[in-house]
Structure formats: structure tokens, C-alpha cells
Amino acid sequence: MYLITVFGNLLIILAVSSDSHLHTPMYLFLTNLSFADICFTSTTVPKMLWNIQTQSKVITYVGCITQMYFYLLFAGWDDFLLTVMAYDRFVAICHPLHYTVIVNPWLCALLVLVVWVMVVSLFYCTGLGVYLSSAATQSSHANAVASVMYTVVTPMLNPFIYSLRNRDIKRALKRILGVPVI
């Protein structure tokens, strides 16, 4: 799952970077979201895989603080990008002639709420569930499943949800791979 996350997001970055037709705000946001997802997943999963391999659960204080700093940084970046993307698409679709001048704080707050509910609630609800339930007697298996949901599954699905279903991205990927574009 980690490799799918990294390679899927790298493909999106490569496709957008290599096709000049995709140098628009929407694809700039998608590229940044892909980069943020790679960074977000890479802050915890390599250490988790190392711990599983070595059967060790040890982390230094500095390592823990550093990991938490970058984890929260990239999670916040992810949330902000999703919000910006939602607002960008709304304005582009509903008010194309006023695309560059529309700024409405109420609408931005509404979009943040909507984003909190397609993607962010999955991340935070499972995360809170893991950390709040640590005092309760729950199996470590249930905690592991919830942790994987918000640290690996959501970033892994973002390329599929936001990019790979997009005709322009598919066309750019075909050009990169040398597949004839119809």
C-alpha cells in the first residue's frame, strides 16, 4: 500500500509536470496534493515498517517529536489543499467569468465544512479513535487497522479519486508511457 501511494502520487506529479496543457491552477493543486500525500505517508510508514520488521516499538524522544511535527504539518497541508481545490472547482464551474475575482468568506467556510465531512473525517475520526481508545481495553489489531486507514489508505486513494479518473491526466500518462493517444 505504501508503494502504491508513493508511485501513484509520483505518476500524477510526472504527468502534470510533463504536459504543458496541464499547467493550470487545478493541476497545480493536484500536484501539490500528491506531493503532500507522499510526504504525509512517508513521515510514519517507513518507521512503522521498520518496527514491524525488527519487532521493536522503540523511538527516541527527538525522533517522536520530529515525526509528530512533520505528520501534523503535512496533514494540515493536505487539509488546506483539499479546501482550496474544492473552492477552485466550485468557482470554475459555477462562475467561470468571475473566476479570478470571487472571494466569499462564507462560501470558503462552507467548503471547509464539506471537505471536513469526502475525506478529512475519515482521517481524523479514525485517528482520534486510536488515540482516545488507548485507555480503553481494545485489541492492538483494531488500533492497527484504524491507524492504517488514516495514514495509508486515504493518501493511497487520492490519486485515484482526484486524478486518475481525469481524462487529461490519463492522456498525459499515456504520452509518458509511449501509449498511442486517441
| C-alpha torsion sign, points 82, 86, 87, 88 | positive
Please count the other Cβ atoms lying within 10 Å of the Cβ belonging to residue 58: 7
121 within a domain of the structure (yes/no): no
132 within a domain of the structure (yes/no): no
59 within a domain of the structure (yes/no): yes
Work out how many domains the chain is built from and give that number.
1
| pLDDT value of residue 99 | 67
Secondary structure element (H or E) that encloses residue 142, with its range:
helix 140-148
CATH number of the domain where residue 62 is located: 1.20.1070.10
| pLDDT value of residue 170 | 81
Distance CA 130, CA 74 (A): 19
| pLDDT value of residue 181 | 73
Orientation angle between helical segments 167-177 and 25-54, nearest 10 degrees: 70
Q: Please, how many CA atoms are within 13 Å of residue 54, restricted to the half-sphere of its CB?
A: 10
Distance CA 153, CA 135 (A): 25
Q: Could you read off the pLDDT tens digit of each residue along the chain, which spans 182 residues?
A: 888 889 888 988 988 898 888 887 778 778 888 888 899 889 988 888 888 888 888 888 888 888 888 888 888 888 888 888 887 888 888 877 776 666 455 655 565 566 556 656 666 666 666 666 655 555 666 666 666 666 777 777 777 776 666 788 888 888 888 888 77
24 within a domain of the structure (yes/no): yes
39 within a domain of the structure (yes/no): yes
19 within a domain of the structure (yes/no): yes
CB 4 within 8 A of CB 158: no
131 within a domain of the structure (yes/no): no
Q: Which three cell numbers stand for residue 71?
A: 505528520
| pLDDT value of residue 114 | 64
> Which residues constitute the domain of residue 96?
2-102+155-177
Is the pTM here over 0.75, yes or no?
no
